[in-house]
């Protein structure tokens, strides 16, 4: 992807920005974008901008949560040293005195400050709006190795299980609130994989596995209307025996695909796809959103 003079990009400069179906606070929350995510601005309408996200979503974000970039600034950002927040919970960014300057959620992207802190337990970072702060060293990973890492099923499952009980939020993508596909999206994003945002699109990202008994830990299971085959829900396999974790009925919870299990899911299973279907972001054309080629 080559940024041209006619293109306008922006970085999300709060922990979770709402992407709405229309340029109004009354618009449906269709998804979220996390701090440091790049978006392409298609057009502006008053205090709102219609944007395109890295996973192909389009919707409206209020301008006071965006930090606009010229093509040159966007290229400089893509060439800069950055980290991804790979904690499983919300953390804080602090100033030099330890006071919070922002919250930040798993999956966010921050630039590294050239000045290294004297405390090795902290990383010196630059927020999209150019504020500077510190985050724990063990809560971040350099962006390039993140984008090319080997798949870790245990890490994917760990993100989901560490958020058991997190509230369900339609369009949500963080421990503050997540929907079913938002949970699976972030779980894989932390492992350097970019999924489609909605369950119906995630369900088309690999070969269909029709027998739930063939699904393995880390695979995705999809549910919906058995007549129309319309997908309405997704869950993550946490073992090879049909146990799943998903955001449903108000919170992130466990259930089972096994029809004789006491906690069997009542939704209709349609098919699953293997975790091996997802390539590292660095091996896909969409890496151009993040890296200057």
Low-confidence ranges of the chain (pLDDT < 50): 2-5
Q: Read off the pLDDT of residues 179-199 as tens digits, 9 standing for 90 and up.
A: 999 999 999 999 999 999 999
Where in the chain are the domains? 9-71, 78-142, 153-277
Q: Read off the pLDDT of residues 231-278 as tens digits, 9 standing for 90 and up.
A: 999 999 999 999 999 999 999 999 999 999 999 999 999 999 999 999
Tell me the C-alpha distance between 38 and 2, whole Å.
14
Structural fold of domain 9-71: SH3 type barrels. (2.30.30)
CATH architecture classification, 78-142: Roll (2.30)
* Per-residue model confidence (pLDDT) at position 293: 78
**4 three-state secondary structure:** coil
Determine contact, residues 206/218, Cβ cutoff 8 Å: no
* Per-residue model confidence (pLDDT) at position 45: 87
* Per-residue model confidence (pLDDT) at position 101: 97
Tell me the C-alpha distance between 96 and 63, whole Å.
29
Same fold, 78-142 and 153-277: no
The dihedral of CA 185, 189, 195, 196: what is its sign? positive
Structural fold of domain 153-277: endopeptidase fold (from Nostoc punctiforme) (3.90.1720)
Q: By C-alpha distance, which of 276, 200, 208 is closest to 234?
A: 200
């Amino acid at each position: 992807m080559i940024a041209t003079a006619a293109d306008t990009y922006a970085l999300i400069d709060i922990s979770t920005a709402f992407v709405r179906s229309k340029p109004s606070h009354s618009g449906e929350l269709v998804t979220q974008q996390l701090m440091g995510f790049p978006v392409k601005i298609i057009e502006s309408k008053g205090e709102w901008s219609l944007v395109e996200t890295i996973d192909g979503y389009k919707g409206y974000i209020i301008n006071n949560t965006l930090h606009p970039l010229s093509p040159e600034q966007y290229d400089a950002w893509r060439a800069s040293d950055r980290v991804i927040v790979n904690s499983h919970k919300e953390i804080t960014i602090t100033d030099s005195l330890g006071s919070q300057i922002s919250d930040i959620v798993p999956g966010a992207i921050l630039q590294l400050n050239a000045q290294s802190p004297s405390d090795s337990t902290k990383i010196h970072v630059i927020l999209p709006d150019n504020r500077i702060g510190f985050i724990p060293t063990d809560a971040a990973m350099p962006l390039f190795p993140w984008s090319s890492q080997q798949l870790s099923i245990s890490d994917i499952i760990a993100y989901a299980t560490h958020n058991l009980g997190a509230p369900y939020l339609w369009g949500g993508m963080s421990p503050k609130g997540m929907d079913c596909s938002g949970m699976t999206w972030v779980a894989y994003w932390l492992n350097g994989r970019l999924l489609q945002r909605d369950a119906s699109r995630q369900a088309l990202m690999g070969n269909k596995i029709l027998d739930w008994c063939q699904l393995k830990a880390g695979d995705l299971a999809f549910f919906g209307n058995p007549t129309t085959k319309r997908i309405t829900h997704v869950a993550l396999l946490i073992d090879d025996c049909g146990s799943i974790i998903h955001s449903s009925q108000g919170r992130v919870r466990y259930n089972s695909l096994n029809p004789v299990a006491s906690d069997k899911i009542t939704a209709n299973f349609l098919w699953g796809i293997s975790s091996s279907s997802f390539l590292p972001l660095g091996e896909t054309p969409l890496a151009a959103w993040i890296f200057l080629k």
